[in-house]
């Protein structure tokens, strides 16, 4: 059984059905995999340390003894009740052992399997999606709205509050790992204390680089065409096990914000006001860089960037090729384009400022003619 979208929320709210024998939780967000595995396990057994009803195995255990999973599934609890088998660090080498259990006689047990980021061609994932006694539950990185709600709920549950700018900053920094997001949100709540309120400065001070991953660093490096900064930021992201798709989406959000600001400017808004009207507003330490990139990236080039990022995400999910290499290649290609465009845009801007008027201004109306000429030749 393949779970997706709203099915996941409904599935997690209720105990697993009695005829369901195995649940494979997989995806790039390891914190979410662990959290949801604990949630599902808690629907079966109140005490996850109960030695009579809970058995914990690893992929390495099954590799050494493939029959171990079937033996545990067939065991009967001495204290009664449905047994729980937790299988961690599972991969495709566990597929045959799980197949034997699913095709065997009915067992009064539930196998909760914590796997990594299984590709669509994964044998274990395909088995869980296709078998009527199993379920495949994906765990992808939270989007900005989900992260905002999680942080706000955690802070307010502790009796504190958080300003909108601080919440927007936290949501932009977090989201690649559910466990990290919860820990950082709890840190904010502890910092504020009961009755306190978290400001933007508080959020900047509290949320460490390990949580932020500074996906903003990657996005701004791409926009600036800074290949060295991009390489450093990507190395940091890899060390923090950031999902390549999450990185692509973060860069996409940055260019969508550039596009939104460009649309406001095209409608007659000045650059500073356009940046101020963005929600969330541009982080104060990034305003100068954002303004430079507004001059560097016209809307037609932004559309091309977003199309390339979208194709890279599709390739990550469908080709079976290493997603990290796909994402990094796309980002470096875009950064090279930004590096090449920056000098050209600067030259064009200078040429526009220095170019003489295409036709001589009228000699009548002295003061107004001088003002018109000044408007053509002075820099904006």
Would you list the DSSP string of 284-317?
GGGHHHHHHHHHH--HHHHHHHHHHHHHHHHHHH
* Structural domain contains residue 263: yes
Listed residues 196, 212, 228: the one ending a domain: 212
Question: What was the pLDDT predicted at 5?
Answer: 79
Asked if the structure places residue 115 within a domain, the reply is yes
Say what the pLDDT of residue 204 is.
Answer: 81
Strand segments, DSSP code E, in the chain are 22-26, 54-58, 83-90, 109-115, 134-138, 161-162, 197-198
Domain boundary among 82, 109, 138: 138
Residue 152 located in a structural domain: yes
| 301 in the same domain as 233 | yes
Token pair 């808690």 in the structure block, residue: 42
202 plus 95 within the same structural domain: no
| Rounded Cα gap, residues 115 and 95, in angstroms | 11
The answer on 207 and 228 residing in a single domain is: no
- Give domain status of residue 349, yes or no: no
| Cα 13 to Cα 35: distance, rounded to the nearest angstrom | 14
Identify the pLDDT of residue 12: 93
Residues 163 and 106 in one domain: no
List the domain range (segments joined by +) for residue 76. Answer: 6-138
Find, among 188, 232, 207, the residue nearest to 332 by Cα. Answer: 232
Give the three-class secondary structure for 112.
strand
Last residue of a domain, one of 194, 212, 230: 212
> By CB neighbour count within 10 A (0-12 exposed, 13-18 middle, 19+ buried), where does 233 fall?
buried
Q: 50 CB contacts (<8 Å, ≥6 apart)?
A: 79
Report the C-alpha gap between 162 and 113 in whole angstroms.
Answer: 37
79: domain CATH number is 3.40.50.300
125 and 10 inside one domain: yes
* 376 within domain boundaries: no
Pairing of strands 83-90, 197-198: unpaired
Percent of the chain as helix, strand, coil, to the nearest 5:
60, 10, 30
Block residue for tokens 């003002």: 371
In a domain, 351, yes or no: no
Q: Residue 306: which of 228, 244, 251, 374 has the closest Cα?
A: 251
- pLDDT by 10s per residue, the chain, length 380: 999 878 998 999 999 999 999 999 999 888 999 999 999 999 999 999 999 999 999 999 999 999 999 999 999 888 888 999 999 999 999 999 999 999 988 778 999 999 988 999 999 999 999 999 999 999 988 887 888 999 999 999 999 999 998 898 888 778 778 988 999 999 999 999 999 999 988 888 888 654 445 688 899 999 999 999 999 999 888 887 788 998 999 899 999 999 999 999 988 888 888 888 887 778 777 888 999 999 999 988 999 999 999 999 999 989 889 999 999 999 999 999 877 765 555 545 444 444 444 444 433 343 333 333 233 222 33
Q: How far apart are CA 97 and CA 63, in angstroms?
A: 9
- The answer to whether residue 379 sits within a structural domain is no
Q: Output the domain CATH number for residue 181.
A: 1.10.8.60
* DSSP structural state of residue 107: -
Whole-number Å distance between alpha carbons of 245 and 310: 10
Q: Are residues 27 and 116 in the same domain?
A: yes
| Whether 45 and 123 share a structural domain | yes
- Pair (160, 127) in one structural domain: no
- How many of the other CB atoms lie within 10 Å of CB of 61? 18
Q: How many domains does the chain have?
A: 3
**Per-residue model confidence (pLDDT) at position 206:** 84
Indicate whether 360 belongs to any domain. Answer: no
Instruction: Report the C-alpha gap between 170 and 166 in whole angstroms.
Output: 6
Are 150 and 109 part of one and the same domain? no
In CATH, what number is assigned to the domain containing residue 331? 1.20.272.10
On whether both 205 and 228 belong to a single domain, the answer is no
Residues 238 and 119 in one domain: no
Task: Tell me, yes or no, whether 132 and 201 share the same domain.
Answer: no
């Amino acid at each position: 059984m393949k779970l997706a979208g709203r099915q996941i929320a409904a599935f997690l709210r209720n105990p697993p059905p009695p005829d369901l024998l195995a649940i494979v939780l997989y995806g790039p967000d390891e914190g979410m995999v662990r959290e949801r595995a604990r949630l599902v396990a808690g629907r079966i057994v109140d005490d996850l340390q109960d030695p009579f009803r809970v058995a914990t195995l690893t992929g390495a255990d099954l590799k050494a003894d493939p029959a171990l999973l079937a033996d545990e599934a067939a065991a009967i609890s001495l204290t009664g009740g449905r047994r729980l088998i937790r299988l961690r660090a599972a991969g495709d080498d566990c597929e045959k052992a799980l197949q034997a259990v699913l095709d065997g006689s009915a067992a009064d047990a539930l196998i909760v399997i914590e796997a990594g980021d299984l590709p669509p061609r994964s044998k274990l994932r395909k088995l869980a999606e296709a078998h009527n006694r199993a379920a495949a539950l994906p765990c992808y990185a939270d989007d900005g709205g989900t992260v905002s709600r999680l942080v706000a709920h955690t802070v307010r549950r502790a009796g504190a509050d958080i300003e909108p700018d601080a919440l927007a900053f936290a949501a932009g920094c977090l989201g690649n790992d559910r466990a990290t997001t919860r820990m950082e949100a709890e840190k904010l709540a502890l910092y504020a204390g009961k009755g306190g309120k978290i400001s933007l400065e508080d959020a900047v001070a509290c949320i460490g680089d390990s949580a932020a991953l500074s996906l903003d660093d990657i996005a701004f490096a791409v926009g600036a065409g800074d290949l060295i900064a991009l390489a450093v930021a990507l190395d940091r992201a890899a060390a923090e096990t950031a999902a390549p798709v999450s990185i692509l989406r973060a860069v996409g959000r940055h260019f969508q914000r550039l596009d939104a600001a460009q649309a406001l400017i095209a409608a007659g808004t000045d650059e500073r006001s356009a940046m101020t009207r963005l929600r969330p507003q541009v982080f104060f330490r990034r305003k100068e860089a954002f303004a430079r990139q507004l001059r560097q990236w016209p809307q037609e080039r932004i559309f091309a960037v977003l199309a390339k990022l979208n194709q890279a995400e599709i390739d990550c999910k469908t080709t079976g090729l290493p997603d990290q290499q796909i994402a990094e290649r796309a980002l470096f290609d875009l950064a090279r384009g930004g590096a090449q465009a920056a000098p050209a845009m600067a030259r064009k801007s200078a040429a526009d400022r220095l170019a003489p008027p295409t036709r001589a201004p009228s000699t009548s109306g002295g003061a107004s003619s001088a003002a018109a000429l000044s408007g053509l030749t002075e820099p904006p």
